[in-house]
Chain A
Amino acid sequence: QSVLTQPPSASGTPGQRVTISCSGSSSNIGSNTVNWYQQLPGTAPKLLIYSNNQRPSGVPDRFSGSKSGTSASLAISGLQSEDEADYYCAAWDDSLKKVVFGGGTKLTVL
């Protein structure tokens, strides 16, 4: 059981916009910023979004993040086949004194 809650799966067709939610509590998302990681099949996770809504250099602006209260979301617009991957949200938890992850969302491009 993950501390942050994500839907296990999401899907969309090429060109569509999809969103992935991440729900937490006051000790994690409510107090700290949220990060998103993309894990392509068979590879290590890669930073996608940091500090709620910041994109590292090289990440397309099709990817965007937002946070409100104790929830966050990742939006992917103009969906492409190469976006098919697992997506994880993460944040520091002040009560547990550790980094907590969501269970991951498997994105399928139909």
Chain B
Amino acid sequence: QVQLVQSGAEVKKPGASVKVSCKASGYTFTSYDINWVRQATGQGLEWMGWMNPNSGNTGYAQKFQGRVTITRNTSISTAYMELSSLRSEDTAVYYCARARRLGRGYWFDPWGQGTLVTVSS
């Protein structure tokens, strides 16, 4: 079955960087965009950016421009999200999700299980 499995929880100090992985299985990795969404504790969902695994093209929310980088390794069907200059407000669960596109629609299915990133001194 289609599945996205993310790396484990991370604890980082302010100013550091974190790199979260997302391994895809059950489908052709290069055929669907991968998106990243985060959720602070008790808060809603916040979209961070997307990547086309075939071309490597990316797009980021303006809020994260300059701090986030989404990459991939097609040989192991894995996408990565790196966030730099971490601050306490970046403490959240980070999700990867496979995107489907049809006409004017763009939706996420499935989602990874989430990776908790805690930023604390």
Q: Mark B52-68, 1 if CB is under 8 A from A, else 0.
A: 00000001011000000
Question: Are the C-beta atoms of A88 and B45 separated by less than 8 Å?
Answer: yes
Flag whether B27 is at the interface (Cβ < 8 A). no
Q: Does A45 contact B (CB under 8 A)?
A: yes
Given contacts A45-B95, A88-B45, A101-B47, contact A32 B106 (CB under 8 A): yes
Answer whether residue A13 sits at the interface, using C-beta atoms and an 8 A cutoff: no
Question: Whose C-beta in chain A lies nearest to the C-beta of B45?
Answer: A101
The complex places the Cα of A92 from the Cα of B45 at a distance, in Å, of 14
Contact between B105 and A33 (Cβ–Cβ < 8 Å)?
A: yes
Of the candidates B44, B100, B103, the one whose C-beta lies within 8 Å of that of A104 is B44
A33 touches B114 (CB 8 A): no
Partner pick for B105 among A50, A97, A103, CB 8 A cutoff: A50
Q: How many residues of A contact B (CB 8 A)?
A: 26
- Cβ of A51: which chain B residues have Cβ within 8 Å of it? 102-103, 105, 107
Of chain A, the residue at the smallest CB distance from B93 is A44
**B107's contact among A31, A35, A96, by CB below 8 Å, is which?**
A35
Given contacts A101-B45, A101-B46, contact A44 B113 (CB under 8 A): yes
Verify B44–A2 contact, CB threshold 8 A. Answer: yes
B109 CB within 8 Å of chain A: yes
Q: B-side interface residues toward A, CB under 8 Å?
A: 35, 37, 44-47, 59, 61-62, 95, 97, 100, 102-114
Q: Apart from A47-B110, A97-B59, A99-B35, what 20 extra A-B contacts exist at CB < 8 Å?
A: A32-B104, A32-B105, A33-B105, A45-B95, A46-B109, A46-B110, A47-B107, A47-B108, A51-B105, A52-B105, A88-B44, A88-B45, A90-B45, A90-B107, A92-B105, A98-B59, A98-B62, A99-B106, A103-B44, A104-B45
- A-B contacts, 18 of them at CB < 8 A, read A32-B104, A32-B105, A32-B106, A33-B104, A35-B108, A37-B45, A44-B112, A45-B45, A45-B97, A47-B107, A47-B108, A50-B107, A96-B62, A97-B59, A99-B37, A101-B45, A101-B46, A104-B45
